[in-house]
Amino acid sequence: MSKQANAPSTPVALPQHVAPCATDPVLPPRLVVTDLDGSLLDHHTYDFSPAAPWLARLKQLGVPVIPVSSKTRAELIPLRELLGLTATPFVAENGAVIGLPPGWCHARLDRPGSACDGVVVKHTGVDVGFIGARLKIWRERLGLRFTRMSELNTQQIMQLTGLDEARARAAQRREGSEPLIWQDDEKAIEAFRRALAGDGLELTQGGRFWHVMGRASDKGSAVAWLIKRFSALRGSAPIALGLGDGPNDITMLEAVDQAVVIRGCHGLEVSPQSDALYRTEATGPTGWAEGVAHWWGRDNRQLAAAPRLPSATA
């Protein structure tokens, strides 16, 4: 059974400010993988300012922070800029797409990136066209009730998600998964799962949508691959911290050494099997900062939380 730490009753201190490149060579390498919506980003406003001091601290220490999201690659491009994470990899569409910046590429294994930022894109799953075709067949054959994102127009997506038009259009640019709105009962979900499994597909639940993707193209598989790549490049395995708030984050949280379940706004059960599990009291980016501080704010002087950084804004 997972050991769950109780949330602190006192406010979480913000991380200590240090000069750039202050990484201690004795400190074991570390790695952060994180969900975005409802975790690093506020579920409604997409603000991340409560987490900004820790993001800055981790960047100064040379600790990679990797977004692992249900968002598309097109959505993540501007978000990586906004969050200051352009030097780290990203995982899009719940694990179906992995993006590697130049510093994470292997000279013999990775072809040069074709994107303008030099990112090498790896598709771990199946083509989105195949997924759409199978969803159409199974909905008719099983008489299921659901609506695919590809059947919604941009205005409808804006209303469902709160995204502006540009970001809503980016959300429609799918490469390896199909979000859908489930409108049937629980019994129908199980029949649907079995049908998808026969096609090599799987179904996972996010905060707003259900997602269909290739089998073994989940967040956990992508994170495990990135941890291996990090270990190969650095010569040693990192201590990996994962943070998420939804059921689709469970495999990611089970692939890391230390896990944080951020209190969600959706009421869905999130119970990863982990011996190092912490549940936050706060939601969104405030909970994100609470979770990082719980695991890494007390265990050594290099990461100790002490004086406050200036307030940050998104």
Distance CA 224, CA 117 (A): 24
pLDDT for 173 equals 95
Express each pLDDT in 260-271 by its tens digit: 999 998 888 999
pLDDT for 8 equals 37
Distance CA 151, CA 91 (A): 24
Closest CA to 217 of 158, 155, 175: 175
pLDDT for 23 equals 46
Determine the average pLDDT of the residues in 161-186: 94
Determine the average pLDDT of the residues in 41-54: 94
pLDDT for 63 equals 96
The model's pTM is: 0.84
Determine the average pLDDT of the residues in 188-205: 95
Distance CA 135, CA 122 (A): 24
Distance CA 309, CA 18 (A): 10
Whether the predicted pLDDT of 306 surpasses 80: no
Q: What residues contact 109, with CB distance under 8 A and at least 6 apart?
A: none
Determine the average pLDDT of the residues in 41-58: 94
pLDDT for 28 equals 81
Return the residue matching tokens 């307030």: 311
Distance CA 79, CA 90 (A): 11
* 138: its two tokens: 């199974």
- Would strands 90-92 and 65-67 be described as parallel, antiparallel, or unpaired? unpaired
- If pLDDT is split at 50, 70 and 90, which confidence band does 24 have? low
- Would strands 30-34 and 239-244 be described as parallel, antiparallel, or unpaired? parallel
Distance CA 171, CA 116 (A): 20
DSSP the chain: ---EEPPPSSPPPPBPP--SS---TTSPPEEEEE-TBTTTB-TTT---GGGHHHHHHHHHTT--EEEB-SS-HHHHHHHHHHHT-TTS-EEEGGGTEEEE-GGG--TTTSPPP-STT--EEEE-S--HHHHHHHHHHHHHHHT--EEEGGGS-HHHHHHHH---HHHHHHHT--SSEEEEEE-S-HHHHHHHHHHHHHTTEEEEE-SS-EEEEETT-SHHHHHHHHHHHHHHHHSSPPEEEEEE-SGGGHHHHHSSSEEEEEEPSS--------SSEEEEEEEHHHHHHHHHHHHHSSSSGGG-B-SPPPP---
Q: What percent of the chain has pLDDT over 90?
A: 72
The residues assigned a catalytic role are: 35
